[in-house]
Chains A and B, each alone.
Chain A
Amino acid sequence: MQPSRMAKADETQQTNIPNVNGPECESLGFSYVIDAYRQYAAPANLACKRIISAECGANVEEAHQQTLPEFLWDVKRSIAGSVNNFIFYGYPYSGNVSYPLALFVSSVEC
């Protein structure tokens, strides 16, 4: 669960990460900065969470342009920042609706 979805790191992380079963950050919200992943993983490691996950792969304005090496690039950066579980964005499984588009996307977990 993402304690502060797409938000810049703020004080909710320090207080909320230890309270959540599975803390998850976001590569998009963290701008792929390794220090940001470390900053996120620090309270999780101190709280002895075995799994720190990240939602990877949502690159802005790159729909249908993401290559597989690019797909892995952020995985590697996140591992350097102590993230050890990846959810890949996204997996659309419903079409033929006009609204709301956003509800019909899930993520693929390895």
Chain B
Amino acid sequence: MLTSLQYGNTTWPSFTTFNCAFAEMHGRHQPAFEFYSNPIGYTARLQYIFQSGVPKMDIAFYQKFTAYRSVPRNYQPIDFETDGKHPRS
């Protein structure tokens, strides 16, 4: 099957890395490229907001691990999430 996956400067799909293992080849060959400015602008504005100010946390969990074999969900109960869904509680 002939594709342009190994070659740049051609039509889509153009050059694709890692043997198509990972998304995404952002660039002018992507069909959605003319629409990228919206999500990228959104992300840029979010970055500006979240890089300003002083980070503050209400709750911290002290994790007494010295080696993490995985990235577990360390606090198992979902009571915080449930409370978050009821703003009046």
Contact = CB atoms under 8 A, between A and B. Distances in A.
Contact of A8 (B21, B43, B60, B69): B69
A64 B21 contact: no
B73 interface: yes
A26 B9 CA distance: 29
Interface residues of A, number: 51
Interface of A: 8-11, 13, 28, 30-31, 33, 35-36, 39, 42, 45, 50-51, 57-66, 68, 71-72, 75, 79, 82, 84-86, 88-96, 98, 101-102, 104-105, 108, 110
B27 to A, nearest CB: 6
Mostly helix, strand, loop or mixed at chain B's interface?
loop
Contact of B71 (A39, A58, A68, A88): A39
A39 B40 CA distance: 26
A8 B17 CA distance: 24
Contact of B68 (A8, A68, A105): A8
Given A84-B47, A95-B7, A96-B7, A89 B24 contact: yes
A91 B15 CA distance: 10
B8 A110 contact: no
Contacts of A94: 8, 15
A102 B17 contact: yes
